[in-house]
Structure formats: C-alpha cells, structure tokens
Amino acid sequence: MRYEVKVVLPGKGATHLQLDADSEASVRQQIMAQGGMVLSIRRSISGWKFESKTRFPLVHFSHELLSLLTAGLSLVESIETLSDKEQDAGIRKIIQNLLTRLYEGITFSTTLEEYPHIFPPLYVSTIRASEKTGDLPEALTRFITYQTQMEVVRKKMIGASIYPVLLLTVGLLVSLFLLVFVVPKFSAIYEDMGSDLPWMSLMLIKWGHFVQERGWELVGIVVATLSLGGYAVTRPSFWAYVMQKLWRIPAIGERMRVYQLARFYKTLGMLLRGGISITKALEMVSGLLQAHFRPRVEAAARHIQEGKTISNAMEMEGLTTAVGSRMLRVGERTGLMGDMMERIGNFHDEEIARWVEWTTKLIEPLLMAVIGVVIGGIIVLMYMPIFELAGSVS
C-alpha cells in the first residue's frame, strides 16, 4: 500500500513523500535509513482510487510528451506542462504523482514502474533503455509507431468482422420473430385442417401451439440462456477454451499462429532497436503470446545463450516462417536485426490483412445464402397449407 509522509530530510528540510510499504513501521524504517525524521504518516487512499478507475490515454500522453521534448523542454518541464493542461482530475492526479517522484530524484522509468496497470512493461523497458543512451524522444517515437501499427491491425480485424456479425444477428432476430410471433398466429388458423399437411408444416404448427401454451417458460429459458452466455463471454476461461478449439482448426490455427508471430517480431524489433538485449527482450515478449508459445520462447532464449544464432534458435523452436527465417539471416549479416524483425512483423501483418479480406468476402455471401434459406424456408412452410388448400379447391 502507499503512504503519504511528511518528513524532514538532510539538506532538503520539510517535504512530502509518497512511499510504498507494508506498514507504517516499514515507512519509518525507510525514512530513518535516509537519515530523516517522520513528522506525519497517512495512507494514500484517494490516489489509488483515481488510478484504478481512470483510463489513462497512454498513446496520447506519449504523443504530447514527445512534442514537448522535441520543442526543447526538459522532462520535468514537459511533465509539469502536461499536468497544468490536463482537465481530467484522475489523469491529472496520476501525472502529478509522476512529477512528485521526479522531484525526489527518482528516474522516469522507475516512476512509471510504480503504475503497472497504466504503463506496461514494454513501455517501461523502452524508457529505461533510452535513459542509458539519452534518446528518450526516439524511444517514445518507436513506442508510438509500434502502438499505432498494432491498433491499425486490430481495427482491420474488428472492421472485417462487423458486417458478418451484423448479418448473423439480423438473421437470428428475424428468424426468432417469425418463430415466436408469426408461426403461432398461423397455427391457430390451420388447426382445423387436420393432418393433410406436409410433416414440416405440422412441426411448425406444433411449435406454434407450444409457444402459445408455454410462452413464458420459453421466455425464461431464453433469458437464462442469454444470461449464462453473457456471463461466459466475460470469463477468461471461456475465451481460452474457444481459442484452444480454434487453434486445432488447420486453416484458422495457422493464420492465428502467423498473427502471433507478427506481434512477436514487431515487439522484439522495437525492443532491440531500443538497446535491449535479445535474451531480455525474449523474456519480456513471451507474456504477449499464447501460453503454448511461451516454453518455445524460453527454449529459444537458452539456445541463443548457448551460442546459437537467432535464426537457428527461432527455427528450432518453430517461432518463424520460411520468409521470416530468410529475413532473420539477412538481419544477422547486416547487423540490423531490430529493423529486420519489424519488417518481418509488417510482412506478416499484410499477409493476415489479405487473408481476412478474402475470408470476409467469402463468408458474407455464404451467410446471406444461409440466412435466406432459413427465413425463406420458414415462410414457405407457413404458407404450404394455403398452397395445399388452393390445389384442392382447383
């Protein structure tokens, strides 16, 4: 937990600090170790409230910070400016906390590390690497570019799935409307016609009687099913199960593997360009991959530590494609491994985008055909008795 402490420190006088500790006694020990004296201690409750509920705009924050640093302001001056201009109270509180820690002489990366729910490990590591080389603007540029590229891919995937999902939803709603409201009306009309009807029409009529007699029970079942479905969708275990099944489908599983590798190499490339070693970068990136990939990443890191080349280590653990292997060898010859890994990621992103576009164009007409057959079949079966009656009259 975090404590707000008023202390007297040698050479600084009375000042306010924010410290993380298990108890007040631990706080006092930390201050005494610095040769200071504690005046008052108070648990920082409101600060954590803001931090846990405020959605921090990380990319926007990085953009503005980059602009101020490029304009010639120092890091502290840039953070002060961002704090002064921020209108949202929660975000301003977080920035002010960052500024307080910078005033205390804490490095920027260590300060960011205190907010893991806002600043991911990749961001913190990129900033820490830049502190050693003094190129913070370049590090921010790399991260912004990386996040922008990942967001573009994500939007493409979402955009491609909107129309098929919309088609499927409308088709299901229309089918439910026919089965729940229209079919019962027709069943009341046809109940005196006897059994001289096609068996599928008889089934629809029986369904109509069931809806009329036990409609509220049906509504309860539907509501309970939707509630269970909504609860399942919010559970990580449900999505883990779905992903596990999708991985087993050859056509889809291979594309998911390529998508994972694209993220893998883009992130690795960004970290390597930031000056982070390959083994450290592999350790950090493994958390972004599916669980069954992580042992392979750890094994690849061990192979590299044993002296094998990056391309060989990736090939041995199945963490590359035919094109990726060739590009890795080129990166090893030229020494531009970070740039080459980012190119591998971009190449596979384009490949995934083409596959998604092709699949969407194939699925849309198939969905329309299936929905048309289902809805048209229900309507034809409802009117079949009328056709039978017209035939007998003629």
Residues 384 and 336 in one domain: yes
Residue 131 lies in a domain: no
297 and 373 together in one domain = yes
**Per-residue buried b or exposed e for 11-39, using 16+ beta carbons within 10 Å of the residue's own CB:** eeeeeebebebeeeeebbebbeeeebebe
| Cβ 16 vs Cβ 4: under 8 Å | yes
State whether 287 and 228 are in the same domain: yes
| The predicted structure's pLDDT at residue 47 | 42
Sign of CA dihedral 278, 126, 342, 293: positive
Query: Kindly report the CA angle at 218 between 214 and 223, in degrees rounded to 5?
Result: 150
CATH number of the domain at 158, please: 1.20.81.30
Please indicate, yes or no, if residue 83 is contained in any of the structural domains.
yes
pTM exceeding 0.75: no
Q: Sort 176 into a burial class: Cβ within 10 Å, 0-12 / 13-18 / 19+.
A: exposed
Give the per-residue pLDDT at 116. Answer: 80
Considering the domain architecture, whether residues 36 and 65 belong to the same structural domain is answered as: no
Query: Domain range spanning residue 90?
Result: 55-119
Classify residue 126: in a domain, yes or no: no
**Residue 259: which of 274, 278, 246, 277 has the closest Cα?**
246
Last residue of one domain, picked from the residues 69, 86, 119: 119
Distances from the Cα of 177 to the Cαs of 43, 76, 90, 377, in angstroms? 57, 62, 46, 14
CB half-sphere exposure, 88, CA atoms < 13 A: 12
Task: Verify that 372 and 315 share a domain, yes or no.
Answer: yes
pLDDT at 197: 63
Residues 293 and 144 in one domain: yes
**Residue ranges of the alpha helices (H) in 178-235?**
183-190, 199-213, 215-233
- Same domain, yes or no: 87 and 172: no
How far is the C-alpha of 65 from the C-alpha of 73, rounded, in Å?
Answer: 10
Predicted local distance difference test score (pLDDT) of residue 50: 40
- The answer on 107 and 255 residing in a single domain is no
Asked whether residue 130 is domain-assigned, the answer is no
pLDDT given for residue 10 in this prediction: 66
Task: Please check whether residue 11 lies inside any domain of the structure.
Answer: yes
Mark whether 4 and 153 lie in a shared domain: no
248 part of a folded domain: yes
Coil, strand or helix at 38: strand
- Count of domains for the chain: 3
Bridge partners of residue 3, in order along the sequence: 19, 43
- The predicted pLDDT at position 54 comes to 53
* 107 and 246 part of one domain: no
List of residues 6+ apart from 254 with CB closer than 8 A: none
Query: Is 149 a domain residue?
Result: yes
Task: Divide the 394 residues of the chain into consecutive groups of 10 and give the mean pLDDT of each group.
Answer: 68 66 70 71 52 69 89 89 86 89 88 84 80 81 81 78 83 83 72 62 74 77 84 77 79 83 85 83 77 85 90 89 90 88 87 82 85 84 69 58
In a domain, 289, yes or no: yes
* Lookup: tokens for 362: 């194939």
Query: Sign of the CA dihedral 72, 124, 154, 169?
Result: negative
